[in-house]
Structure 1
Amino acid sequence: MRFEQPKRYGNVENADTPRMLMATIPKSDKTRARILEAATEEFSQMGLSGARVEAIAARSTNSKRMIYHYFGSKEKLYAAVLEHAYQMFRIREESLGLQDMPPADALSRLVEETFDYHESAPNFVRLVAIENIHYGEHIRRSSAITKANATAVPLVAGILERGYKEGVFQRKIHPIDLHYMISALCVFRVGHLHTFSAVVGHDLYEPELRARQRSMIVRAVLDTVGATSPS
């Protein structure tokens, strides 16, 4: 079963960054990038079991032989897609310069970026859901994903530590718990877009509703640590 891509709003221009960079990288890397892009679409729509290498080859205008040359097997290609997805997410986080912002501003910006990224990359959310069907086995086996995600909790911990030290945050919370809260609130609305929209009778991507929920999530996270919304 294939899923219709939702409409996109918000800070989504970075979703096309890989395409803009294509002109500046070597041909061999462009070929690999095209295969990864096509495989991301195929795996996110069809899952690991339902995805077909023939379809990925057609999407990427490459041969099956070329795909096996670069990745070895369908399962290894799926793992590479997961690695690339997580790496891109963490690279965007690192580019925000949160360490240079006041703690409340940094936390607010982290929530906004997490919200915007997941909305701009629904395939990422689907891939994570698919990997959960496989009990996270490919993520656990990937040293590249482990390395990419090693910054996630320390990033939150650093913001919290500065906030407590400066007296900006009044309520203690474990960094893992806050990371979980941010992820849960931002991922749910994308992962459950179609069912939740049908239940409540409203499209979660309506601009007014989207803006309201984005702001609500920021306020909820700031309130959890005992901070006020940054001006």
Structure 2
Amino acid sequence: MGSDTAADAPVKRRGYTGQPRDPDRTTQAILAAAKAEFAEKGIGGARVDAIAERAGINKRMLYHYFGDKLGLYMAVLEEAYASIRSAELALALDRADPEEGIRTLARFTWRYFLDNPEFLSLLATENLYKAENLKRSARIPRIHSSFMGLLKSVLDKGAEQGRFKPGLDPIDVYLTIASMGAFYLLNRHTLSTVFNRDLMEPDRLAHWGDHLVEVVLSFVRR
């Protein structure tokens, strides 16, 4: 993965005593800037100097909060996963009609990928490193466990009503949703070129969202 260059190496903070007036706001500014930098350039290409400049802070402040570039990358990665899982839980899928719950999740996921391209870029970067950083996170498995439990309850309710196939694996269902959306967007440039079709035209995006929903519902219905 490579280490920071001398320009990126942490400076000694022996004489650093300054504290931000708004720690939460400063932290969020750093995370937003780092997410953009990592999404554009990956871990190796991202520079701490550039992140600090994007965030409008002194570089020492960044090290004060996150330790080093890898610590900041881990924080960005965890925050990216936490954000989508939190938004999914807010859908309250278990309170809806089971079929409507699955439809809502499928549309939400597609829309989230469209509105948050940095999320897919971060996942692509982490996959290049075979999830070596993700494996060090104790937070992410807990986040995913809660959501998978919620999705399972929706699928079980649908099965109890005789509308969904019994014994559906929530991971299979989620992978079907996520893979259809992620593959389309991550490969949009090559696919658009190969098939001579602009896959990012609004009508095409709307069509694929509808198609995604129908495929998933066809999969879960009895």
> Does TM, scored on the shorter chain, surpass 0.5?
yes
1:68 to 53, 58, 63: 63
2:201 to 181, 198, 206: 206
Gaps of 5+ in 1: 1-25
* 2:11 alignment counterpart: none
Q: Is the 8 A contact 1:171 1:226 kept in 2?
A: no
Structure 1 residue 168 and structure 2 residue 163: aligned? yes
Q: 1:125-173: CA deviations, max 9, x gaps?
A: 0100100111111111111222222223222211110000011114653
Q: Which moved more, 1:82-91 or 1:192-201?
A: 192-201
Q: 1:80-122: CA deviations, max 9, x gaps?
A: 0001101110111011111111000000000000100011101
* 2:29 alignment counterpart: 34
1:57 to 49, 52, 67: 52
Gaps of 5+ in 2: 1-20
- Bigger-Rg structure (1/2): 2
* 1:90 alignment counterpart: 85
The offset of 1:209, in angstroms, is 0.9
2:114 to 111, 119, 123: 119
Q: Which moved more, 1:146-155 or 1:161-170?
A: 146-155
* 1:106 alignment counterpart: 101
Structure 1 residue 185 and structure 2 residue 180: aligned? yes
Structure 1 residue 220 and structure 2 residue 215: aligned? yes
Please give the alpha-carbon distance, in whole angstroms, between the structure 2 residues aligned to 1:170 and 1:32: 45
* 2:192 alignment counterpart: 197
The offset of 1:224, in angstroms, is 0.6
Please give the alpha-carbon distance, in whole angstroms, between the structure 2 residues aligned to 1:102 and 1:149: 22
Please give the alpha-carbon distance, in whole angstroms, between the structure 2 residues aligned to 1:172 and 1:204: 35
* 1:21 alignment counterpart: none
Please give the alpha-carbon distance, in whole angstroms, between the structure 1 residues aligned to 2:206 and 2:94: 26
* 1:19 alignment counterpart: none
Q: Is the 8 A contact 1:171 1:224 kept in 2?
A: no
Give the structure-2-normalised TM-score. Answer: 0.87
Please give the alpha-carbon distance, in whole angstroms, between the structure 2 residues aligned to 1:58 and 1:160: 47
> Letter of the aligned partner of 1:79 in structure 2?
M
Q: Is the 8 A contact 1:38 1:56 kept in 2?
A: yes
Give the structure-1-normalised TM-score. Answer: 0.84
Identity rate, percent: 37
> Letter of the aligned partner of 1:43 in structure 2?
F
Please give the alpha-carbon distance, in whole angstroms, between the structure 2 residues aligned to 1:70 and 1:86: 20
Structure 1 residue 155 and structure 2 residue 159: aligned? no
Please give the alpha-carbon distance, in whole angstroms, between the structure 2 residues aligned to 1:95 and 1:156: 13
**Displacement over 6 Å in runs of 4+:** none
Q: Which moved more, 1:181-190 or 1:200-209?
A: 200-209
Q: Is the 8 A contact 1:38 1:60 kept in 2?
A: yes
